[in-house]
Amino acid sequence: MKPILDLNAFDVAATANLDARLASSVRRRSGLFGAASVLFYDHPLEFVRAEGCWLYDAAGNAHLDAYNNVPCVGHCHPRIVEAAARQLAAINVNTRYLHPAILDYAERLLATLPPALGNVAFTCTGSESNDLALRLAAQFTGGAGIIVTESAYHGNTAAVTAISPASFKRGGPPAHVRVIDAPRADSPDGSAVAAALASQVTAAIDDLGRAGIRCGALIVDTIFSSDGVYADPPGFLRAAVEAVHRAGGLFIADEVQAGFGRTGSTFWGFARHGVVPDIVTMGKPMGNGHPMGAVVTRPEILEAFCATVGYFNTFAGTPAAAAAGLSVLDVIEQEGLMANTHAVGGHLLAGLRELGLRHPVIREVRGAGLYIGVELTPRSDALATRVINGLRARRVLIGAAGRDGNVLKIRPPLCFSAVHADTLIAALDATLSALAP
């Protein structure tokens, strides 16, 4: 399994193939960022502005963005830009001072979640959110054991890298982590998915016990994005959550990818499965580009943690963050983006599946709303890379995911239209036709 950032990374050895100006910029970046410098595509892109579903390069060419889920309601949405800028021009201080916008946002956010989840702690990133969630779970349960799926990615602090198999180039997760398979459908109607997932969770709990490690939590990204996008059948998570609860562990729903209406039918990915998490983590899309994250949990879980160490984050939950977050919620509601996601996502799924009838290289199309995975065969990341770069040449941007790196990952802004979807489908059709033997 390739690390997720390597699935479509630019090879710095190919700098000689670039024009002089771009090559100079790449070399400059590599010198400044060193081994941590990662660029996408076999020909790196330099963008200078964005709007809605479009990114514009330095030459003025428009690229359809079906990749970046951070600007969830569209790049540079004017309402969000204006709200954050207005607040920054007035005051932006930490949460040890009272400010109405912070309270208004907390109330609006919590109103979208089950009533039992009554407290929120703000962070700056999804990584911070998942790091804090692990600490909450360990303190509340007394268990250090964590169960994750095989290609999961939950962030980049030390604690969450340890539970992110997709990040490892060598070796693997440490002794307190148990890795289970992604919830693949092994029958035409997917009826065995729930039982298989629950069975693996139970086996992982037992294995932790044999090692003298108590289970603290099961954490999943509720669209299983890095695993290759697994959304159906709705409800398959329930039995696994029940299994971890029986063992005294908690269920952490990582909603960085699936939250904020991304699946179309529900505001949160876990809601498609009819479960109530003990902890919900979120990040990226909360502020449509403004760095925001949050952990929502039951009051007794947060109280147990704060009785021991407490929590404060200087840059989290500021008035400017709250202004951006409130605007995101307003835009989703007032522009009907969940209904749009449901309708356009269905249109896109149908179009991609029709494409699969004409291109045998497409093994399966799956997903919910505007989070879709197109699995290619043979199971090779090299094939997916060729397709992604073929789309990039046609100015359509997507990513890759999955254990074998062979799943095309499609996650456009929620303002994606049927016209945008048709553009993507046509570009993929042309790319696959060009690659056919």
The pLDDT tens digits of the residues spanning 110-166 come to 999 999 999 999 999 999 999 999 999 999 999 999 999 999 999 999 999 999 999
Are the C-beta atoms of 279 and 137 separated by less than 8 Å?
Answer: yes
Based on C-alpha coordinates, what's the Rg of the chain?
Answer: 21
The pLDDT score that the predictor gives to residue 30 is 84
- Residue 396 forms beta bridges with which residues? 64
* Position 187 pLDDT exceeds 60: no
Are the C-beta atoms of 52 and 311 separated by less than 8 Å?
Answer: no
* Position 20 pLDDT exceeds 70: yes
The conformation of residue 33, written as its DSSP 8-state character, comes to: H
Tell me the per-residue pLDDT of 253-273, one tens digit each, with 9 for 90 and over: 999 999 999 999 999 999 999
- Which of 36, 43, 52 is CA-nearest to residue 3? 36
Q: Report phi then psi at 386, rounded to 5.
A: -65, -40
Return the minimum-mean-pLDDT range out of 72-76, 94-98, 177-181, 398-402: 94-98
The pLDDT score that the predictor gives to residue 214 is 98
The pLDDT score that the predictor gives to residue 35 is 83
- Which of 115, 121, 390 is CA-nearest to residue 276? 115
Give, for 386, the enclosing helix (H) or strand (E): helix 381-393
The pLDDT score that the predictor gives to residue 190 is 61
Distance CA(371)–CA(191), nearest Å, equals: 22
- Which of 328, 218, 343 is CA-nearest to residue 270? 218
The pLDDT score that the predictor gives to residue 253 is 98
The pLDDT score that the predictor gives to residue 169 is 84
The pLDDT score that the predictor gives to residue 172 is 85
Higher pLDDT, 2 or 363: 363
Average pLDDT over residues 333-341: 98
Name the residue with tokens 């996650």: 411
- Which of 182, 176, 142, 140 is CA-nearest to residue 158? 176
DSSP three-state, residue 216: strand
Task: Give, in order, the Cα–Cα distances in Å from 417 to each of 54, 331, 347, 420.
Answer: 12, 16, 9, 5
Average predicted confidence (pLDDT) for the chain:
94
Torsion of CA 147, 302, 238, 294, to 10 degrees: -80
- Which of 275, 255, 304, 225 is CA-nearest to residue 109? 255
Q: What percentage of the chain carries pLDDT values higher than 70?
A: 97
Phi-psi region of 93 (alpha: psi -120 to 50; beta: other; left: phi over 0): beta
The pLDDT score that the predictor gives to residue 42 is 87
Return the minimum-mean-pLDDT range out of 189-203, 336-350, 391-405, 418-432: 189-203
* Position 186 pLDDT exceeds 70: no
* Position 437 pLDDT exceeds 80: no
Highest mean pLDDT of the ranges 20-29, 37-46, 188-197, 401-410: 401-410
Are the C-beta atoms of 138 and 145 separated by less than 8 Å?
Answer: no
Tell me the per-residue pLDDT of 48-66, one tens digit each, with 9 for 90 and over: 999 999 999 989 999 999 9
Tell me if the bond preceding 78 is cis, omega within 30° of 0. Answer: no
Domains of the chain in sequence order: 4-73+336-435 (3.90.1150.10), 78-334 (3.40.640.10)
What's the whole-model pTM score?
0.95
Maximum C-alpha span of the chain: 65
* Position 4 pLDDT exceeds 70: no
